[in-house]
Structure formats: structure tokens, C-alpha cells
Amino acid sequence: MQTADTGATTSMVDETMPLGVDDLTFRLVDADLLSPERDAELIELLRTAFNGGPSWFQFDVEPLDHVRWKLHEFAGRALLELIEDGDRMVGCQIRHLHRYLSQGEEVAVTEGVDLAHAPAYQGRGLRSATRALRDQEMELLPAARYGLGLGAHPLSQRRLGRTSRNELVGNPWLTMVKVISPAGVIRARLAARSERTSDSAAASSSGNTPSRTRAALEAQGVGNRPSRWRQLRAGLALIGATAWSPFRRPTRGAWTIQTVEAFDDRADRFWERAHRQFDVVQIRDRAYLNWRFCDRRSGGFTVRTAEQDGELLGYVALRVVDSSEVIADLLTLPDRPDVVRALIDDAVQVAQGRGADRIRCWSIAGHQYLPALRRAGFSSYPHVMSLTYRAWSETKEQLAFLADPATRIHFQPADTDHL
């Protein structure tokens, strides 16, 4: 197995370049070079750009601690793209270099997270200028083969297939839902709608223009939201799946399922066998799993493992988001659909015990775990989100396998910063 070099060209790191918009400048900074004062400035920029902060500002940890976990202790290499007006930070994006296995070779795959522009600088073409500069200076990240991530912002979704250079992977990204409490789902939707209306009214009455975040734009009706007919049809399918749920018998076996606080060295042995069933998958060794799911600064996950005869058969990572339980990650040994189903059933029981009104997960169409999800009572629900890739050091032709529906891609919500 070849190993990826996740380094960037040192001559380009921390070099100030004109952005091409007014007198603004662009820098790519290694996370290790950022001072505590810069971390604090980053937090304040995110607070204003996200109308109070991104969703992780609500975690049970200080935002600064989360940034240190995400930026300084990332299980790979992290850099920060900075847009500056003099000495002032007015734009940023954290750039992660993930370790992936891609067609049997370890490569660096990049993902941009926490993209933010100060409200006063929005609408001035900063995103386009940054993208153009990166295209011209591709040696900024020579080790990154390609980018892979989820697109959910209405403006980025609108650009797909037109001005965007992102390409859709071969199979669509699906939202899978199992309703536990229909009444609870209805109450949650009504509450969310009321909250969006009150937030919009408050902004109008105060004369303030909110930052153009995904949530703000969706509240204004910007973007390609699913039609009411699609939502109604999917809702009826969810009701039907829920009605049959009591008649679906859970899978039982000789394994045990329990909550763990950390992964031990068995995780590395498990990973060496588990990855062989996929062509593209982020490396999930012991170090990564403990960083992603077992550090409370990540936001808090419940990890349930299936074990037999002292060995790890699989795991599922769960998190509560609002009134929903979310399956953040699910992985088992190859050819173990029984363990897949057992972990899904266990996740549903955990959700019920925590009073969730529904349990959600996401998956690529054609994934081998989908049949088990459907048998457990999950049904697809329309959602405007897409899994895309973008060429970095390789050409579009070299990445044609990502657009091939036959490519076995294992991509889960926890592979991104969306969760």
C-alpha cells in the first residue's frame, strides 16, 4: 500500500498574495503556526458570519476548545485559508487534508470547512476570487489528489453543473429516515418553522441584514428545495414504513453490543479487514476513531460496538441533533449484513430510549448497507444535499472512477464537518 504525503509546498504556506478584490490579501497558514490570538479572532469571525455562530457553537464545550480540536489536533493535516484586510481577518476557511484509501492507494483528500466571510464583505466576489486564486496556484496543495464533500448551501447547489467545477459522484446522496414518534416530528417541524419566522421578523424590525448563511437563505426560499409533492410522497412512505416497524424482528447473534468510551488496539485489526470491501474510504484506524468520536470536544458521540470472541465486528456512532438521533458512522467487517442490521436495530433502540422523534442517516445510493436500513424501517426522504468531488492535483479524466456508479464508496456524515 502506498502512503500519502499530506504536506504542502512550504514556499507557498504563509505567503501573502493579492486576492484581486480591492486591497484584500490571501494567505494559506499551517495550523501549527496560528497563535492563540488568531484562534480567538477566528472564533469572532465565525460568530458574526454565522449569525451567532455555526451549529457547533451549541456544543457542550467552549468554541475555542472545539477549534483547537479541529484545527490544531486534527487527525491529518489542517491549514487555514485567510482573507485579510490589512491585519484584520475578514474571511476564512479551514482546509483539512484527510487520509483516504482510494483504489488501494493512500492519498490525501481535501475538504474545506467553516467557510466564513464577514457580513460587510459578503457579495463582493470573495468566494470566486479565492477559487480562482487556488486554481492558478494549485501548488498550494500539491499532495491533495481531489476534494470530496457534501454541498448543502443553496448558492453552491445552484452553481452545480454551471460555474462550479465540482462534479457529482456516480450515485446520489440519500437521506434515510425512520420515524419513531409521528406527533413529535410534526411538533418539531412546526417549532422550526415558527423559529425561522420569528428570527426573520426580528432581523427586519431591527434593520439588521443577516449574514447570508445556508439557514438564512433557506428561510428566504433561496435554493432548490424539494417540491411539496415530493415531500408529501416521501412522508406517506415514512408513515408506511413506520406502520410495519413493529412486525420487523431484530437480528440476533452470538455477538454483544455495548457502549465504549475509546477504541483499543483491536480497532486497527478491524480496520485492516473492513476497508477491503470499498474502493474509496477514509482511513478509520484507532487514532482517527478516537479523535473523531471519543473526544468530547468533537461535540459528543455515543459509540456502540459489536464484539464476539474478543474481536471487533463493527461499530455505529450516534449523536442527538435537535430532536433527532443521527447515525454519524457505521462500519462492519465485510460480508456481515447480520451485524449491520444488528447495529442499526441497536441504534433505533438507543434513539427510543433517549426520546428521539426520529432517527436519520445518510448514504450513497447503491451502498451495501441500504437493504439493511430499509428492512429496519428506514425510508428515503428528499433533501437538497449532494456529494461532490473536485480535481486538485489529478485531472478530471483520472478521477472518472468517482463518477462511476459501480465504484464502492463508503462515505458517512462523520466524514465531513456537517456533523
Is there a single domain that holds both residue 280 and residue 237? Answer: yes
Is there a single domain that holds both residue 82 and residue 174? Answer: no
Whether 368 is covered by a domain: the verdict is yes
Overall number of domains in the chain:
2
What does DSSP say about strands 173-179 and 379-381: parallel, antiparallel, or unpaired? antiparallel
Whether 407 is covered by a domain: the verdict is yes
Q: Say what the pLDDT of residue 317 is.
A: 98
Measured between alpha carbons, how far is 411 from 329 in angstroms, rounded to an integer?
A: 9
Q: Say what the pLDDT of residue 28 is.
A: 87
Cell numbers placing 214? 445556508
Q: Which CATH number covers residue 31?
A: 3.40.630.30
Digit-coded pLDDT (tens) for 127-138: 889 888 877 655
Q: Are 386 and 173 in contact (CB under 8 A)?
A: yes
Q: Say what the pLDDT of residue 396 is.
A: 86
Q: Around 330, how many Cα atoms within 13 Å sit in the side-chain half-sphere?
A: 25
Whether 212 is covered by a domain: the verdict is yes
Is there a single domain that holds both residue 134 and residue 151? Answer: no
Digit-coded pLDDT (tens) for 168-189: 899 999 999 998 887 766 666 6
Q: Are 299 and 63 in contact (CB under 8 A)?
A: no
> Of 122, 142, 162, which marks where a domain is finished?
142
pLDDT(278) > 60: yes
> Of 115, 142, 169, which marks where a domain is finished?
142
Measured between alpha carbons, how far is 287 from 216 in angstroms, rounded to an integer?
A: 37
pLDDT(11) > 80: no
pLDDT(94) > 80: yes
Query: Mean pLDDT, to the nearest integer, of 142-150?
Result: 84
Q: Say what the pLDDT of residue 203 is.
A: 46
Domain range holding 341?
145-419
- Residue 364's nearest CA partner among 419, 413, 305 is 413
Is there a single domain that holds both residue 307 and residue 418? Answer: yes
Digit-coded pLDDT (tens) for 15-65: 788 898 989 999 888 888 899 999 999 999 999 999 999 999 999 999 999
Measured between alpha carbons, how far is 160 from 316 in angstroms, rounded to an integer?
A: 32
Q: Letter for the amino acid at 53?
A: G
Is there a single domain that holds both residue 154 and residue 241? Answer: yes
Is there a single domain that holds both residue 286 and residue 246? Answer: yes
Which residue has cell 465485510?
Answer: 334
Whether 11 is covered by a domain: the verdict is no
Is there a single domain that holds both residue 187 and residue 93? Answer: no
Is there a single domain that holds both residue 132 and residue 195? Answer: no
Is there a single domain that holds both residue 318 and residue 176? Answer: yes
- Residue 363's nearest CA partner among 376, 346, 349 is 376
pTM: 0.84
- Residue 392's nearest CA partner among 146, 227, 187, 225 is 146
Between 42-51, 140-149, 374-383, the lowest mean confidence (pLDDT) is in: 140-149
pLDDT(220) > 50: no
Is there a single domain that holds both residue 248 and residue 370? Answer: yes
pLDDT(191) > 70: no
Measured between alpha carbons, how far is 269 from 397 in angstroms, rounded to an integer?
A: 35
Query: Mean pLDDT, to the nearest integer, of 204-230?
Result: 48
Is there a single domain that holds both residue 352 and residue 239? Answer: yes
pLDDT(142) > 90: no
**CA angle, 373 as apex, 371 and 376 as ends, to 5°?**
110
pLDDT category of residue 163 using cuts at 50, 70 and 90: very low
pLDDT(245) > 60: no
Whether 5 is covered by a domain: the verdict is no
Q: What's the mean per-residue pLDDT of the chain?
A: 83
pLDDT(75) > 60: yes
pLDDT category of residue 341 using cuts at 50, 70 and 90: very high
> Of 90, 119, 142, which marks where a domain is finished?
142
Q: For the CA atoms of the chain, what is the radius of gyration?
A: 22
Handedness of CA 367, 372, 373, 377 (dihedral sign): positive
Q: Say what the pLDDT of residue 386 is.
A: 86
Whether 40 is covered by a domain: the verdict is yes
Whether 157 is covered by a domain: the verdict is yes
Whether 161 is covered by a domain: the verdict is yes
Is there a single domain that holds both residue 151 and residue 256? Answer: yes
Q: Say what the pLDDT of residue 218 is.
A: 42
Between 131-135, 275-279, 334-338, the lowest mean confidence (pLDDT) is in: 131-135
